Amino acid sequence: MLVGITYDLRLDYLAEGYGEEETAEFDKPDTIDAIESALRRLGYDTDRIGHARRLTERLAAGHRWDIVFNIAEGMKGFGREAEVPAILEAYGIPTVFSDALVLSLTLHKAMTKRVVRDLGIPTPDFCVVESEKDIASVRLPYPLFAKPVAEGTGKGVNAESKIKSAQELKTVCRKLLAAYDQPVLVEAFLPGREFTVGIIGTGDEARSAGVIEVELKPEAEKEVYSYVNKERCEELVVYKLAKGPLASEAEDVSLRAWKGLGCRDAGRVDVREGADGRIQFMEVNPLAGLHPVHSDLPILWTLGGGEYLELMRQIMESAVKRVKTGRPAKPAAKPGRGKAEAKARVRRRRSGRVAVMHGEVAEDAPEDEKDVLIEAEAVSDSLSKLGFEPARVIFSLDLNGVRSQLEKIAPEFVFNLVESVEGKGSLIHLAPALLDYMGLRYTGCPTDALYTTSNKLVAKMVLMGGGIQTPHWVNPDGTGPGASRAKGMFVIKSKWEHASIGLDDSAFVTVRDYAGLMAEMEKHAKERGTVYAEAFVEGREFNIASISENGIPRVLPHAEIQFVDYPPEKLKVVDYNAKWTQDSFEYNHTPRTFKFGPEDGPLLDRLTRTVEACWKIFDLDGYARVDFRVDAGGIPWVLEVNSNPCISPEAGFAVAAELGGLGYTGLIERIVDAALSRKTALSGPAKVALK
């Protein structure tokens, strides 16, 4: 059974400029890793989808799943938690956990309490403050408790939430109305003990998963399970497994509310003891957190002696039994999609030898060449974790020798890390060309894409022909779109070499005219071989990593290179020192940032669209990186398309993958998935040689 996983990753939204509290309900990468790992251990095939916008893209592309494990919270509106199940309902795809109706209802605490009250379940008296004028109409006896009507994770709850006077009520309600732009729930304050009840199952089969009491340490915010107390629960909160009559009453109240509201599969109900010693319903969380260590539901489960894997098993058993599905949803009317999905599932085989292939590296090689050894070691380690048997292969101009090595290994596929051949970047395409000839699958971009993008002049012509803006340039022979505008600052670049090789202060020249530019190019050509001149774009610099997921590009969190404490006279560029010379000023003053303010939203969207356009015109596959400069007018210019970027653990690509919720092994897994779902270039006789 193929299980899609929908979620909102906190780091994605932080990178877009949202604040810590705004994103408090969203998940961290290790939560998604834990969920996916558990599902796979239980025998399910998994596919990470992401948030609602990514889901719609995937559905439009024809992707389908047998069931979707949905923990996406959404960002805006009372229906935000219902977005994903509502979309999937339209496509007839079932979800784990509650449906759109329940998630819309339960997010609004006042609406939930009205239903609970109608069911005869005890809950504190309450009213809703829609605006400042409603504050004066509150007639409940003090003390009261106030919180936003549709937030979770303690957002908007602090020491001020317990209200003892009309003036405090006015102050707190005004603050909450302004801060959260939504009504405020005001209810009678319950002074007793607080419990959380975990529930597994649906309808009559719903049962308690355990009860914990929430005790606040002396240094915690008093009397309230606040946002701060939840965020720092390890140091401020004690969770105790609860037993006895009060715990039994908490279970009874919670189960009645769970069933009456129509919640499904698993979740959590929060209750509190009133002044009369009776348990009352506070709120329900039908999308409870699932971090194995920090979330309440797993905490109460493990306190009761259960294992996280068993919790996930019972959740899935409830969902699968409820929807009674063992069949995939009807496929979209998209030619070949069914075959593509079937091929993608080859990844589940998790066995066989893999050739990790890279160029030879001399002992005295520069740092940019040595980095591939770190890369190969990290990739091999991740492949081993995924169940494969990696074997190193050194690629050289001895093609027959390389072929013999590969025939001896007979790999299931080749992880291609060849960045140059005997020091020449112009020969990078020879590695995939040989693999095509042998009929072997391999990771990364195909031969044509590698050749086209590694030849920077060809790449720029393709970009220009595809309507993608790239700085104007002058070819080695003096032709090119920049020939008539040869004035100002230019960068003298190698036609073939990447990794900023040869890029230092001397490469940036200011010329008066065409003759001056040609003289500079001639001078640099004597030292560096074939070069060309590219107009320098003053502005911001971005590196955008992207991977293939089920046949379409997924853009990872955007990265901007910052130029910290650069003197006014120093050019803000990512040169060779910035990338490779660890004791240089440039290396230590060019950090990446993944955080952006709302004002950058349109630019980030434009960068994403441009990356997707590059995938299309170059026929990219597997993984790639696009480097940009953004001018003062906010216009992005593509500098280079790197179809075989560095994926060492410390490289920007791997960091973006981590922030994108994949982790390093997850990144390698996605690259492998893309390789195994792609057809080999040749079949038949070439493959016979490998047997």
**Count of alpha carbons within 13 Å of 349, Cβ hemisphere only?**
18
Supply the pLDDT for residue 552. Answer: 82
Cα–Cα dist 546/393, whole Å? 26
Triad 632, 635, 638: Cα angle to 5°: 115
Triad 622, 73, 46: Cα angle to 5°: 40
Are 383 and 415 within 8 A, CB to CB? yes
Cα–Cα dist 46/49, whole Å? 9
Tell me, yes or no, whether 171 lies in a domain: yes
**130 and 268 inside one domain:** yes
**236 and 299 inside one domain:** yes
Supply the pLDDT for residue 26. Answer: 82
**129 and 254 inside one domain:** yes
Cα–Cα dist 282/144, whole Å? 13
Please identify which residue in the block is written with the tokens 């003036």: 167
Tell me, yes or no, whether 441 lies in a domain: yes
Are 584 and 409 within 8 A, CB to CB? no
Q: How far is CA 356 from CA 344, 414, 513, 580, in A?
A: 21, 6, 48, 24
**Residue 252: how many other CB atoms lie within 10 Å:** 15
**132 and 193 inside one domain:** yes
Number of independent structural domains in the chain = 3
Q: Using alpha carbons, select from 267, 234, 402, 312 the residue that is nearest to residue 46.
A: 312
Cα–Cα dist 82/607, whole Å? 29
Q: Write down which residue in 504, 534, 564 finishes a domain.
A: 534
Tell me, yes or no, whether 233 lies in a domain: yes
Cα–Cα dist 73/606, whole Å? 26
Instruction: Tell me the CATH number at 225.
Output: 3.30.470.20
**405 and 491 inside one domain:** no
Beta bridge partners, 23, equal: none
**One-letter amino acid of 89:** E
For 17-21, the CB contacts below 8 A with 24+ separation are 17/595, 17/596, 17/597, 17/598, 17/599, 17/600, 17/601, 18/75, 21/155, 21/227
Domain extent, residue 383, equals 346-452
**400 and 445 inside one domain:** yes
Are 26 and 76 within 8 A, CB to CB? no
Q: Write down which residue in 309, 329, 362 finishes a domain.
A: 309
Element (H, E) at 221: none
Q: Using alpha carbons, select from 364, 350, 381 the residue that is nearest to residue 648.
A: 381
**3-state SS class at 391:** strand
**139 and 204 inside one domain:** yes
Supply the pLDDT for residue 295. Answer: 87
Are 519 and 492 within 8 A, CB to CB? no
Are 225 and 216 within 8 A, CB to CB? yes
Tokens of 566: 């650069």
**303 and 384 inside one domain:** no
Tokens of 3: 């299980």
Tokens of 519: 């003289």
Tell me, yes or no, whether 13 lies in a domain: no
Q: How far is CA 413 from CA 63, 345, 355, 429, 622, in A?
A: 25, 15, 7, 17, 13
**257 and 294 inside one domain:** yes
Supply the pLDDT for residue 349. Answer: 45
Cα–Cα dist 328/28, whole Å? 29
**One-letter amino acid of 562:** Q
Tell me, yes or no, whether 574 lies in a domain: no
Q: List, for the chain, all residue ranges whose pLDDT scores fall below the cut of 70.
A: 16, 20-22, 24, 325-351, 366-368, 497-502, 580, 679-691
Q: How far is CA 302 from CA 100, 178, 241, 307, in A?
A: 29, 39, 10, 6
Q: What is the CA radius of gyration of the chain?
A: 29
Supply the pLDDT for residue 323. Answer: 86
**299 and 443 inside one domain:** no
**362 and 509 inside one domain:** no
Q: Write down which residue in 420, 452, 484 finishes a domain.
A: 452
Tokens of 344: 């993608």
**293 and 382 inside one domain:** no
Tell me, yes or no, whether 603 lies in a domain: no
Q: How far is CA 78 from CA 178, 181, 262, 382, 436, in A?
A: 17, 11, 18, 41, 53
Cα–Cα dist 533/666, whole Å? 39
Instruction: Tell me the CATH number at 393.
Output: 3.40.50.20
Tell me, yes or no, whether 173 lies in a domain: yes
Supply the pLDDT for residue 14. Answer: 73
* Those residues with Cβ within 8 angstroms of residue 681's Cβ, 6 or more apart along the chain or in another chain: 435, 436, 437, 439, 446, 447
* Those residues with Cβ within 8 angstroms of residue 550's Cβ, 6 or more apart along the chain or in another chain: 47, 58, 61, 63, 340, 341, 344, 677
Tell me, yes or no, whether 389 lies in a domain: yes
Q: How far is CA 281 from CA 67, 95, 117, 253, 507, in A?
A: 31, 26, 9, 7, 70
